[in-house]
Structure 1
Amino acid sequence: MKPLKAFTIPFVGLKVGKHHFDYDIDNKFFEYFEYEDFNRSDLKVNVVLEKKSTLLELHFEVSGTVNVNCDVTNEPYNQPLENAFDLVVKFGEEFNDENIDILIIPHGEYEINIQQYVYELIVLAMPSKRMHPGVEDGSLDSDILEKLEELSPKIKDIKEDEEETDPRWNTLKKLLTDK
């Protein structure tokens, strides 16, 4: 997989201090990773690279919305996203990305590509269950929700349930109230 040039930061020419990089993310970015869960995306990624004499510190922040389908109704809706991530880049003998928060690159490197970190930051910000806000507050009018309600098991009235209980349980219930 060839890296995207826009996400390659040449840090050799940068002065010691903080440097800001802003990225606008749309579906073309996710097509590169063959990730097709988003119908549309409008995300802003802000990266602050702080160059120090012996290491680099990167702070990633993402905010915006992605249009996804609801897991319950399959209706599209806009899911707001916000996430942040910190990465420390050190220099060593060989490339090592085994630790989540620390990246070790060889001494001769002069640039770093951050596209994988941006991708993971966005995808991991998604909730595990995507629920349309109209499902939660009851304002969504959907054929699927009506069918689910029709097919759901009906709860018996509490009075009917009490009449059908075994009388032996009543003496056990008295033990709870006798304290």
Structure 2
Amino acid sequence: MELKEFKIAFAGLKQGKHEFSFELDNEFFESFGYDEFNSAAVIANVELDKRSTLMDLHLVGSGSINVNCDVTNEPFDMPVDATMDIVVKFGERFNDDNEDILILPHGEYELNVAQYLYEMVVLFIPLKKTHPGLEDGSLESDVLDKLEELKLSSPDESEEGIDIDPRWDALKKLKTDNN
């Protein structure tokens, strides 16, 4: 999918700053094959600063995405406040190997920012998504109840004294002998 609505025709723009706004929803992320979000409502603003030999792009995404907690699998809205800066230069051929610099071929007249908006939001999401109610204790969940039950039913390490595998002692001795 080409996502034509995310193309910015910069050739006809005067030098200076220009602003563009885009809505990023679930359909947008699914067009990249990304289906980790239950729903998405992100407004992306792109500020293009056109100069004589290059352009600066400042991308800002704000809104929320609905994801499942990695601990409880409970859905929750995660706020999004992501930014990305890209310098656009012109050269012999297209090159996006550097994450901060994009080289477009001479004579190019438009830029599709969809890929960069996608990366900005997806890279903002933490590896572990935790429901805010889990941290403040306000989340009621069957999964949490079961985890607490399992935690309580496991033997308390401090009371019973744990038999440590003697091989660990041998490894600890090696560690202290080298110092």
TM range (shorter): 0.7 to 0.9
Per the TM alignment, residue 68 of structure 1 is displaced from its structure 2 partner at its CA by 0.5
Q: Does 1:155 align with 2:152?
A: no
Per the TM alignment, residue 48 of structure 1 is displaced from its structure 2 partner at its CA by 0.1
CA distance in 2, matches of 1:39, 1:24: 16
CA distance in 2, matches of 1:156, 1:34: 46
CA distance in 2, matches of 1:18, 1:30: 28
Per the TM alignment, residue 7 of structure 1 is displaced from its structure 2 partner at its CA by 0.7
Letter of the 2:156 counterpart: I
CA distance in 2, matches of 1:87, 1:113: 13
| Secondary structure, counterpart of 1:112 in structure 2 | strand
Unpaired stretches in structure 2, ≥5 consecutive residues: 162-179
Unpaired stretches in structure 1, ≥5 consecutive residues: 163-179
Partner of 2:27: 28
CA distance in 1, matches of 2:37, 2:54: 35
Q: Tell me the alpha carbon deviations over residues 106-161 of structure 1, each in whole angstroms, 9 at most, x when there is no partner.
A: 1011111111000000001111111111111111111111111111234355xx46
CA distance in 1, matches of 2:101, 2:19: 20
Q: Does 1:123 align with 2:115?
A: no
Letter of the 1:118 counterpart: L
The TM-score, its normalising length taken from structure 1, stands at: 0.85
The TM-score, its normalising length taken from structure 2, stands at: 0.85
Letter of the 1:19 counterpart: H
Aligned-residue RMSD, C-alpha: 1.5
Per the TM alignment, residue 49 of structure 1 is displaced from its structure 2 partner at its CA by 0.2
Q: Tell me the alpha carbon deviations over residues 29-63 of structure 1, each in whole angstroms, 9 at most, x when there is no partner.
A: 01211211111111110100000000111000011
Partner of 2:177: none
CA distance in 2, matches of 1:141, 1:90: 52
Letter of the 2:7 counterpart: T
CA distance in 1, matches of 2:80, 2:122: 10
The size of the alignment, in residue pairs, is 160
CA distance in 1, matches of 2:113, 2:23: 14
CA distance in 2, matches of 1:94, 1:155: 64
Matches within 5 A, 1:9-158: 9-152=8-151, 153-156=154-157
Identical counterparts, % of pairs: 57
